[in-house]
Chain A
C-alpha cells in the first residue's frame, strides 16, 4: 500500500495557482488540468485540458499527446471542444500550442473547424489557428450539453 502511494506520488503533478484557480492532477499516462473563472465565480469551470500522455519539459511545460480541450461558459454550458494529436502545454502561462493539426467543434456540433498549427490561451479563451483553416457551419441542432 505504501509502495503504491509512493509510486502514485512519483507520477502525479500538482500545480496550484492563486487566481485563476488552476489545479492540475495527472500522471504520465493520464493528464488533466482545469482553470476556473475569477472570483466571485471561482467555483465555475472555465476550461479543461485532458491528455492521454504527458511528458514533463523544463520551465513548467508538458508535451501532451491525444489532447482534448474544453471551454465552458459561465453558465456551465460546454462551448467548444478542441482535439489534437499533440501539443505543448505551458502551465505557468496557461497556454497550449502545436504546429500540428487540430479539430474544433461547438457543443451542438453545428460549428466545426479544422486547420494546422494552433495557440490556445486558456484564461481569455482565445484560440488562434495559423494555417489552412476550414470552418463548416451547419444548421443548428437542438439540445446542448453540460459538463
Chain B
C-alpha cells in the first residue's frame, strides 16, 4: 500500500510540475536585426558579406552606423560569428536594464564564440575610441567590452566619472600598462 501511495505521489508531483511548466508563457520572439547599406558583396562559400556606403545596423539592443561592415556567419548557421565595422563607427546600445551607452571609434570588432558550452560575446573599439554610459565615460585605445559579463576595460589615459551620480560601476576598469 505504501508503495502505491509513493507511486501516486510521484505521478502527482510530475503532473504538477508539468502544469507549472506549461503555465510559463513562451518568450517573445526577438525582433530581427536589420542592416541597411548602399552596397553588399556576399561570398556564399566564405559565408561572409561586406556592406559598404552609409551602413546602418538596427537591433533591439543596439544601433550602429559606419562606412564599411564585414559580417561573417557560423558554418551551417545564420548566427553571426564576427562583425568588423570600420570608418566613423558610432554605436548606441541599450542593455537589459534599459541603460544606454554611446560609443565612437574608427573600428569596432564584434565576436561571438561558444567555448566549452559557454557563450562569449565581445566588442573591441580601436582608433580613438570613446565610450560613454550613465556611469561615466572612457577614453582609451582599445576599449574592450565583454557583453557576456558586462565588463569594460580600457587601455588608456582617461576615465571620467559621471558628476551627477558621482559613481562608476565596479565592472568598469581602467587598465594601464597593458601590452597590446
Contacts and interface: CB of A to CB of B under 8 A. Distances in A.
B43 A124 contact: yes
B170 to A, nearest CB: 33
A106 B78 contact: yes
Q: Is the interface of A mostly helix, strand, loop or mixed?
A: strand
Main secondary structure of the interface of B (DSSP, over half): strand
Nearest to A134: B36
Contact of A136 (B32, B51, B77, B79): B32
A125 B51 CA distance: 17
Interface in B14-32: 29-30, 32
Contact of A126 (B33, B36, B41, B77): B41
A138 interface: yes
A131 B37 CA distance: 8
B178 interface: no
A130 B80 CA distance: 22
Interface stretch (A2-10, A18-26, A93-101, A107-115): A107-115
A133 B39 contact: yes
A21 to B, nearest CB: 18
A132 B40 CA distance: 9
A127 B78 contact: no
Lowest 10 A-B CB distances belong to which pairs? A125-B44, A110-B78, A135-B35, A138-B32, A127-B42, A137-B33, A133-B40, A111-B78, A133-B37, A71-B44
Interface of B: 29-30, 32-45, 49, 51, 73, 76-80
Interface of A: 71, 77, 79-80, 104, 106, 108, 110-111, 113, 115, 124-140, 144
